[in-house]
Homo-oligomer: A and B are copies of this chain.
Amino acid sequence: MKTNRRKFIATAATMAAGVAVAKALPLTTMTNKYHIVHHALFWLKNPGSIEDRDKLVAGVKSLGKIAQIKELHVGIVASTEKRDVVDNSWAVSEVMFFASLEDQAAYQSHPIHQQFIKDHSHLWEKVVVYDAIDA
């Protein structure tokens, strides 16, 4: 599980601060307040290459440095039951949470994201993105 560094620091600071902070915290600090889910799935040019998959995983994890990404979950195909509706033809998944559409837009044009695309786009054949907002 990739959790970005800012969140870790925020968590550590909260723990250190003890009871005063714990009592003052609004409930939402421990529930999810990030209303935009951005899910990108990558299909590799070399679908069987674990090396390419792992390079792309490392690249996606590097995106965690972008401040607008509140949560980042980098995944590979899970071995769940094979069913008609389950698409397991992809190789790498990134699920990101953003606080707003503006933050998602800022992420798209962020230099770290642009650099990621430059350095890794040769690895993928196809990308599919789903952007959802809380219903």
Question: For the complex, what is the distance from the CA of A118 to the CA of B29, rounded to whole Å?
Answer: 36
Q: Which residue on chain B has the smallest CB distance to residue A18? A: B19
Chain B residues in 8 Å Cβ range of A12: 27
A35 interface contact, C-beta 8 A: yes
Which one of B57, B86, B93, B131 contacts A80 once the chains associate, using CB atoms below 8 Å? Answer: B131
Q: Which residues of chain A from 29 to 73 have a CB within 8 Å of any chain B CB?
A: 29-41, 57, 60-61, 71, 73
A115 interface contact, C-beta 8 A: no
Min distance, Cβ A124 to any Cβ of chain B, angstroms: 10
Chain B residues in 8 Å Cβ range of A114: none
Q: Which residue on chain B has the smallest CB distance to residue A4? A: B31
Chain A, residues 1-33, CB within 8 Å of chain B (1/0): the string is 111000110011011001101110101011111
Min distance, Cβ A119 to any Cβ of chain B, angstroms: 17
Q: Is B32's CB under 8 angstroms from A135's CB?
A: no
Q: Which residue on chain B has the smallest CB distance to residue A79? A: B101
Interface centre among A8, A11, A105 (most CB of B within 10 A): A11
Which one of B27, B38, B87 contacts A129 once the chains associate, using CB atoms below 8 Å? Answer: B87
Q: Is B2's CB under 8 angstroms from A15's CB?
A: no
Whether A37 contacts B134 in the complex (CB less than 8 A), given A27-B8, A101-B79, A105-B81, comes out as: no
Question: For the complex, what is the distance from the CA of A35 to the CA of B3, rounded to whole Å?
Answer: 12
